[in-house]
Amino acid sequence: MAITVANCCFSALSSAFKSQPRLATSASHSYLDARSLKASNNENRAPKKRSSASPLKSNAQQKLPGRLKDDKSSLYGDGGKGETGRLQATGFKSFGTQRKEKKEFQLDSREQQQQVEPGNFQDATFLNAVVKVYCTHTAPDYSLPWQKQRQYTSTGSAFMIGDGKLLTNAHCVEHDTQIKVKRRGDDTKYVAKVLARGVDCDIALLSVESQEFWKGAEPLRLGHLPRLQDAVTVVGYPLGGDTISVTKGVVSRIEVTSYAHGSSDLLGIQIDAAINPGNSGGPAFNEQGECIGVAFQVYRSEEAENIGYVIPTTVVSHFLNDYERNGKYTGFPCLGVLLQKLENPALRACLQVQSNEGVLVRRVEPTSDAHNVLKQGDVIVSFDDVHVGSEGTVPFRSNERIAFRYLISQKFAGDVAELGIIRAGKFIKVPVELNPRVHLVPYHIDGDQPSYLIIAGLVFTPLSEPLIEEECEESIGLKLLAKARYSLARFKGQQIVILSQVLANEVNIGYEDMGNQQVLKFNGTRIKNIHHLAHLVASCQDKYMVFEFEDNYLAVLEREVAMAASSRILKDYGIPSERSDDLLEPYVDSLGDNQAVEHDFGDSPVSNLEMGFDSLLWA
């Protein structure tokens, strides 16, 4: 199977070992996950080492010098879920209503709408609000973190929402160095800038300063969540031509879906309208001409066809309201618990649950706010007074049910939810603050450069999913892969720091073949993150620097000799600095100097058995 994200790029990189789908960008590589979702983008990207492709891909078009690469399977970080939109309508207004003190983006509730006749669709004025996106990307080189990869270009789609802003997919403008947009029927490209980027929901907000670009523009209006079998039209600039493209279908399914580019499960709309590379970021309309979502990924498999996904307007509005409230995008919150369904009557009786409801708390993430409120063995039976069924679902519209985590996604970071739980047979209500999840191994790296530290040729860097994809799973090893997939962060700021490679020199003789090994301690002190390691090295006054790795493997350097050789090694390998810019900042201990750190960080993975069962789910 393969899910492809509909975006401006072609990408086909993925790792079958991953449990969550990832986004495949418009480049020739895509992120892999255990699912088959792909992002639909038109993008050209420099080749990278990858593992087996996944069925979840992004539809993107990528251009490389001298050749065009095929779209490969890729998954969005959280599970590669996507949504599709509809098409219907004529006139458009700004979907956002601005208030004096707080701007809230609301869905248009008007019922009197002029419908567009099929024969006149190509003349509908709202098609002029859909633009083509040209993006030049320069991605970091995670294996050689002091430099960038070769730049590549991609094309995708976007649409006007008013107030000088455009919406597109985050994966369309990932690692952007230049973004240009062009209106339908125009031959001029205008420079655009990224105002906000939501990796977890795969949405990006762009601005265009040129007044010429906005002349005569009519922004699209956001509509309501559609119903099953509602007609939908997807508009964009996919592969196969330079002009605007229109495809039609119906809404097939609405449910919580894995987003291939992010690392989250959010509401998604499944449609049967064609979504191809380059469609990513384009709107989907209903019959009233209202935008009901953003096309972003497709599902490709030999057993299935015509499965596309659209990000619904409920997710889009959440993203926009988050940006307006905070001046930046903060992300969708997470409860941070591992849940088990309570379908078995004997299990419910053992837990003293009288009715056919509730989900069992199996594990609470140490970094979540729920860690101080919920306990292992609690049964969650309600969320803000909405009853949770024994299958982990809650009521949704009329005669429908949806995954419990849908309710969590309706909240904003910092919101407090009231949970009804059964603990030791007694029903109680507890407040829980909701915040974005803390990932031990991040799916995306903030900023333009990965962190790194070079000590006498030993290159240290935090483990991340992009690094795993670049290095390939075989070179990373099963032990690190298991930690990346199943381990939980014990505290905010924790990282798995690895020795990625050794730059051979006489000072590090005997260590040249070391690579992709986790460093646990420096001179007997357990390492919390790479900034902590840099601090320990800088403050070291001992004669020897002792690095302890897994399986009791040691690497010892004489401190004065190693420091003297460092500048020569950097010059020999053409490296500008021994550390990344972020490590030049003073180190602040997130745990506090008085708190002992004796845990085996990263060595308590959730078992494959737990993560593999369908009856278990993360909220």
Angle, alpha carbons 86-98-92 (nearest 5°): 35
- Determine the straight-line distance between the first and last CA of the chain, rounded to whole angstroms: 25
Buried/exposed 141-161: b ≥16 CB within 10 Å, e otherwise: bbbbbbeebeebbbbbbbbbb
Q: Decide: 230 and 286 in contact? Cβ < 8 Å.
A: yes
Burial class (CB in 10 A: 0-12, 13-18, 19+), 251: buried
Point out which residues pair with 80 in neighbouring strands.
259
Strands (E), 32-172: 36-43, 56-60, 63-64, 67-68, 77-80, 96-97, 104-105, 130-137, 152-162, 165-168
Q: Decide: 74 and 5 in contact? Cβ < 8 Å.
A: yes
Residue with token string 């306990």: 375
CB atoms within 10 A of CB 200: 27
3-state secondary structure 29-48: CCCCCCCEEEEEEEECCCCC
Residue with token string 């409801």: 357
Q: Catalytic pick from 29, 137, 171, 318? A: 171
Q: Is 202 a catalytic residue?
A: yes
Q: Catalytic pick from 26, 73, 143, 280? A: 280
> Would you mind telling me the total number of residues written for the chain in this entry?
619
CA 453 to chain centre: 26
Q: Residue 454 in 3-state DSSP?
A: strand
Closest C-alpha among 23, 5, 6 to residue 14 = 23
Tokens of 302: 């030999």
Instruction: Give me the helices (H) in 351-492, please.
Output: 405-409, 465-471, 473-476, 478-486
- Beta-carbon-side half-sphere exposure of residue 304 (alpha carbons within 13 Å): 18
Distance CA 317, CA 97 (A): 11
Distance CA 395, CA 602 (A): 37
CA separation, residue 511 to residues 104, 477, 527, 565, 617 (Å):
57, 18, 20, 15, 42
CA separation, residue 418 to residues 306, 322, 407, 453, 563 (Å):
40, 21, 12, 44, 55
Q: Catalytic pick from 33, 78, 108, 202? A: 202
The amino acid occupying position 378 is: D
Q: Decide: 152 and 207 in contact? Cβ < 8 Å.
A: no
Q: Decide: 124 and 90 in contact? Cβ < 8 Å.
A: yes
Q: Is 444 a catalytic residue?
A: no
Residues with catalytic annotation?
171, 202, 280
